[in-house]
Amino acid sequence: MNRRDFIQATALGSLFTNTVLAADKPKPGKPDFTLQGVDVFGKKLDLRDYAGKTTLVSFFTFDCTVCTNDLKLMREFYVRNVSKKFVLIGVNIDQNKKDLDEYNEASTLAYPKSHRFPTVWRMAAGHQDSFGKITTTPTHFLLNAQHQLVLKREGPFRSDDWDNLWLSLS
């Protein structure tokens, strides 16, 4: 492929993704998103507590195999990069809390405490967030250290999303 074809293919490809383009990159100022609730262990969670950290907020359901795969990979990324001011927050959007409880029980048995990331149930009393209606599972929001949107992905994380995530840590 010559350079011209590559540039055209790249430009067309960017039109069909859900990523934030360079012209739309966040500017310093007020955070774009809020999230408050109680995690699966009863601990109060507020997105503001993670100010200064790159944050990946992932909306998922218990029975979604794509979600399970993405969260497995994101958990590995989280474990390797938590010391680099990175946090992963899972937001379960199942209608039935029993499904989240089963997920939580399985992950508590499967992973050591250092591999667990905060997870909340969106339907819980007192839960508030400004991420809007979620119509696709999974849906991921990558927020910079000021909690402004860097990337939104509806569906599975793509290889270039991992690049964006990695670059957001620097």
Q: Which domain holds residue 82?
A: 37-168
Q: Count CB neighbours of 23 within 10 A.
A: 5
**What is the domain-level CATH number for residue 117?**
3.40.30.10
Q: Is 161 helix (H, G, I), strand (E, B) or coil?
A: helix
In a domain, 19, yes or no: no
Q: Give the burial class of 59: count Cβ atoms within 10 A of its Cβ; 0-12 exposed, 13-18 middle, 19 or more buried.
A: buried
Buried b (16+ CB within 10 A) or exposed e, 31-48: bbbebbbebbeeeebebe
Answer yes or no: is 67 within a domain: yes
* Residue 15 clears pLDDT 60, i.e. is over it: no
Strand ordering across the sheet containing 119-121 = 119-121, 86-92, 54-60, 139-143, 149-154
pLDDT at 24 over 70: no
Does the predicted TM-score (pTM) go above 0.85? no
Q: How many domains, the chain? A: 1
| Residue 100 located in a structural domain | yes
Does residue 22 fall inside a structural domain? no
The fraction of the chain above a pLDDT of 90, given in percent, is: 69
In a domain, 138, yes or no: yes
- How would residue 148 be classed by pLDDT, with cut points 50, 70 and 90? very high
pLDDT of residue 11: 42
